[in-house]
Structures are given as C-alpha cells and as structure tokens.
Structure 1
Amino acid sequence: MARPSPATPRWTVLLALAVGVLAAHLLLLTGGVRWDWPAAGPDAPAALQPAALTTARDTDAPSQAPPPEPTVAVQVSTVRWIAPPSPPPAPAPANPAPAVLKEIQVVGPQPVPEDDGEQATPPTQLPIDTPSPTATPAMPVPEPAPVAETPHQPQPAVANATPAPAKVEDTLVAAAGNAAPRNPATEPHPLPPAQLPASVRLGYDIQGKAKGLGYSADAQLQWLVEGQRYTAELEISAFLVGSRVQTSQGSIGPHGLSPLRFGDRRRGAEKAAHFDHARQTIRFSNNAPDVPLQPGAQDRLSVFLQLGALLQARPQAYPEGASIAVQVASTGGAEVWQFQVGALQALTLPAGTVPARRLLREPRREYDSTVEVWLAPSLQHLPVRIRVTEQDGSLADQLLRQLPPLLPLPTDATQ
C-alpha cells in the first residue's frame, strides 16, 4: 500500500487553520480581548502602579493618536512712562497737578523652537525690574514763560534838526529804455542844468575802415540856435560813395536839448524817429515798436551836443570817473548809453593840439558799438573828435579839421 506524500496536508491541519480563522474573526467582531496586569503592591512607586492596557483595532481610526498641541510660552513686559499734565487754558495754578503714572502690559507670544527630536525647554522668564510708583515721583513740567513784547518807543524828535541835503541827480535817466514813463507834472524833474554853445559850423576829416578797406571822407556839422529851437545837421560825403545826412530838430529848455525828430538819410532814402512828448513815447518810421520816452532822451546826433552842454554848465560836477547815463534813439530803437568821464588830455588833431576830455561808452551786449567823444573846454565843450567802432572792426574816426573863429557867448539854457 502506497504511503501519502508528505507535502499533502492532512485534514486535521486544515481544520485547525479554519478554527483559527474563525477565532480571529470573532475577536474582531467582539472588540478584542482585555488583559489586566496584577498590582505591584502598595509600596510600589507611582511609576509602577497598575495601568490598563487596551488594545483596539479600528480600520476607520488612525493607527496613532495626534500629538498634543505645543504649549505657547507667553512673556509679559511692563512699560512705564510719566506723562505731564495738559496745560490748562487759564494761567497755571500755584500747585500744578501731579503727573499721571500710566502702565501698559505688552503680551506677546514667544517663538516656538523647532522640533529636533528632543523635548523643548520652556523659555526662562527673566524678572522685570518694575520701579515702584513712589521710587520715581512725578516731576511737574513748567510751562515756558511768555516773552513780553517790548512796546515800540518812538524816537524823540530833535529840535531844529537840519535835513540832509538831497543828492544831485547827474544822470539824464534813472531807468532803462523800456521802463514806465514818468509824469513830470507830479514829480520833480531829475535832470541837471545844461549850457548850450552858440551857433557854429565845424569841419571834420574822417578816417575809417569798412569791410577791411580803409576810406577817407569829409564831414560838416551845422549847429544852429534860433530862440528856443535848434537844428543840428551832420553831412558826410565820400568820393564815389555819396553822402549821408543826419538831422536833429527840437526845442531848448532849462536842461538842454529836447529832440522832436531825428532823421538819417542815405542814398536818397530817409528813416526817422519821432519824439512824442505828449504821449511819452518814441515812434519810428520803419514800424518798429514804440519805446517809452525817458526824461532827457536824445538821438544819435544831439547826444554829443547835449553832453558838452552838461559839462559846460557844471564842469566840476563831472570829474574823472563820473558817469552820465542818457537814453539815445536811432531810427529803429532806443537804449540807455552809459558814458564814463575820462581825464583831460592834450589831443593832437588836424586843427592842432587841443585839450579835451574823453567820454567813453562801452558796449553792453553783442553787436553794440563803442562810442568815444572828446569835448574841448576851450571851445565851449564842443565835440572835437568822435570815434565809433563796431564789433566787426569797422570804424569811423571824425577829427576836427580847423579851429572855428572866436565863438560868441554860449546860449544859457538855464535862463
């Protein structure tokens, strides 16, 4: 009879396995089995006291209980300050109110250390040294004392005080050419006196340069006084070039010349400037904008005669270094010329050696011309030399060719 193979399970083993599976199912269905450890005795320490161990399996619950939430350490800080009492609107009383002691407790969480596998040690609570209210008594804050205003004490008047002498105005204008016109009827006239020469005719030689080329010309100045009116005419003629005539006409007053019309004619065409004293403006024939008329304004011809009249009336008022300002009009505009008075010098001219005083007008802007005039005291301060230099190098030097005959007494414009 053949024996069964050892690999074939017996029925008893199968039955035992089936019983074990059923028992396991029963345990799961009944909630498990509880084992109680025996007591360790009354004298056992608390760590060895009996404890119940419960084994439970639940497929819906997690395998481990969630860890407890970390405890947040809290540190309490105390801040104190002394607040002065608010100043009352009324004057401060004799006993000011004591300072108010305020205390604020600031509560804030302490940072939680990171979990590095060891039990976190709670932060050490440092003692806070809180001063006692009686240790720092409140000090009253005094209010600043108001500054007493010193009433204005008028200066006592000095009896029989002598006023300071007014400064003599030696300039012809006090403002630029575009300033507002003055009203002579409502304010004192600032112009100095002038003394004009008598009628005379003067001849000049002109040495000049234009566009790099030199030239020579002849000039005649006719100065004519007729009562309270004047006429000045300067005619310049050159060979193969033609002539140029400048004319100034106007009235004579206590302060010298007051032009009414200035004309400049060359090659048959003339441009003019008109002095409208009623409207206090200067108008131009080339439709240039009008310019406000300033007291003592002159044109480019009368200015040389007016300067001589000022020095003739008061030569001591214009020493070397003095300044004379005058508004000068051409046929297209007007501006203030500033003349500096120079020293008296011996001037060599075609007419001979003549003592003369040089007045210089330097350019103020680009394209301005340099103007020089020499006035001879022995000839009633008539111009004996006039030199005009342009920025491009062109110039015209006008020199007295012959001394005039004995001049009559000058016209006293102050009478």
Structure 2
Amino acid sequence: MRRVLLAIGLGLALSPWHAGLAGEQAATGELPPFAAQYRVHMGAFTVGEGWFRFERPEADRYRFEVATRPRGIIRMAYRDETKEVSEGTINGDQFRPERYHYQRSGRRNEQETLLFDWAAGKARDKAGDWEVDLSDGVKDRVVTTMALMQDLARGRTGDRTYRVADDGDIDEYQFRLTGEETVETPVGTYETIRYVRVREGSSRETRVWSAPELHYLPVRVEHVESDGTTFRMTLDRLEGMEPM
C-alpha cells in the first residue's frame, strides 16, 4: 500500500498534443495548500487509506506530508501505519528539501531522517550510514509529487527525468505519457492525463491519472505487482483546493 502512495511522486509529463487539455489552466503554476484523502482498493476490497497534506508555513517554505493506514481485511496481516514528511524552501519555482523524515509504526517500528545541506552540497541520513553529493534539482522521494504537479501547472512538457536522493544514491525516475481519460471519483468527475512510470527490467507498473482542473493533483493511481496483484487508489476527499 505504501508503494501505491509513493507512486504518486513518480512523475507527470505532458506532450505537445495535450495543449488543449492544459490550456490556460496552467496559469502561474502556484500550488495552493491542500489536504487530500484517498481510499485504497485491492479488487473489490477496501484495504487502506492515504492522506496528502501540503502547507506553506511561510511564503518561501513548504511542508508536505504523506500518511497511510491499512483498513479491512489487509489489516489482519498488515497493521503498520506510515508517515513521511518533507520540509524545505521554495526557491523560485523549485522545491528544495532540507529535511525528510520517514516513520513506520505497528508491528514494525522504523524511522529514517535525511538531511539536505545545500551549502555543503551534501545529503545524508541522520544516522550517518550514507552521504551523497547534491546538485540543483535533487529531491527527496516525497516532495517529487509537488514538484511534478508544479511543472505541469507551468506548462513544462515532454518526457521527464527527476533525480531523487534515496538510500545512499541519486536515483533517476523516468516517465512516459500514455493518454487522456475521464475519471469518476467521490469528489467529482475529472478530465485527466494518464502516465506510466518507466521501469526497465521490471514487470511492476504504476499508472497515474492527474487532473489539470485540480492543479494536476493525482485523482487515481494504480500499481500492479509482479504477480498481477493490483492496488487502486482513488481521491475520496479534498480540502483547500478550488478547481481552476
């Protein structure tokens, strides 16, 4: 379930033939604070809930939180809840993380903190297990969600690659646009763009549907495991964001 939620941060990209859908809705690309709740299904069963919360404590600062909680039948085997928080600055149109924290509680208790020292050009985990060199544009894996939404809202088009500091390395995420689709959710019906994350050498697949009307917030995410198990996450509630 956590993988499904993280998939939202795996990429959004427009190509030139999406100009009609995005149109003037790109506006300034300024993302408003919001809180979004998602419901996660495996087949016909509700198996979890997820939350996104984006805040602007100061004009040049952000806080973005992703949380998950199991529900229903899956809770019998998987009782862990997770929370991930990215905090940092907004420099022009770039999200620049300063601190990322991951916490897992339940049957397994884990936590990890990453620190981004831009003056020194280093990112490291607080435990001191690893350190990597930083360059402009590197993100943590959570705030990538917001960076992608902002890129689309500003009309940045074409296939894209994002660099993410994670587990002692700088990973690259590649994304491909696959079409447009109308998606129904409990919040409303939206015209969306659909993309897939490109994973070379892997049979796992993640698909995301993002709504230009909601500043390109993902309204549906599907993740297919190697064994064919499919999880679907659908927007269930939204606060603080008005349609464009």
- Please state which structure has a larger fraction of its residues in strand: 2
**Are residue 279 (structure 1) and residue 114 (structure 2) matched?**
no
Q: Which has the higher contact order (CA 8 A, sep 6+)?
A: 2
Shift of 1:383: 2.2
Q: Structure 2 vs 1, CA of residues 288 and 387 (structure 1 numbering), >3 Å: closer, same or farther?
A: farther
Q: Structure 2 vs 1, CA of residues 264 and 232 (structure 1 numbering), >3 Å: closer, same or farther?
A: same
Query: Counterparts of 1:14-413 in structure 2 under 5 Å?
Result: 195-208=29-42, 216-226=47-57, 227-239=59-71, 240=75, 241-267=79-105, 268-285=109-126, 287-314=128-155, 317-318=156-157, 322-331=158-167, 333-365=169-201, 370-391=205-226, 393=228, 396-404=231-239, 407=242
Q: Which runs of 5+ in 1 are unaligned?
A: 1-170, 172-193, 410-415
Q: Structure 2 vs 1, CA of residues 353 and 296 (structure 1 numbering), >3 Å: closer, same or farther?
A: same
**Distance in 1 of aligned mates of 2:207 and 2:128:** 30
* The structure with more radius of gyration: 1
Which letter does structure 2 place at the counterpart of 1:306? A
**Distance in 1 of aligned mates of 2:232 and 2:169:** 24
Shift of 1:339: 1.3
Does the 8 A contact of 2:34 with 2:240 survive in 1? no
- Please state which structure has a larger fraction of its residues in helix: 2
Shift of 1:237: 1.0
Q: Structure 2 vs 1, CA of residues 371 and 331 (structure 1 numbering), >3 Å: closer, same or farther?
A: farther
Does the 8 A contact of 2:89 with 2:96 survive in 1? yes
**Distance in 1 of aligned mates of 2:204 and 2:46:** 19
**Distance in 2 of aligned mates of 1:251 and 1:293:** 15
Percent of matched pairs sharing the same residue: 22
Q: What TM-score comes out, normalization by structure 2 length? A: 0.73
**Distance in 2 of aligned mates of 1:273 and 1:390:** 28
Residue number in structure 1 paired with 2:6 = none
**Distance in 2 of aligned mates of 1:229 and 1:394:** 39
Kindly tell me the number of residue pairs found equivalent between the two proteins.
207
Q: Which runs of 5+ in 2 are unaligned?
A: 1-12, 14-27
Residue number in structure 1 paired with 2:22 = none
Residue number in structure 1 paired with 2:17 = none
Which letter does structure 1 place at the counterpart of 2:56? V
Does the 8 A contact of 1:346 with 1:356 survive in 2? yes
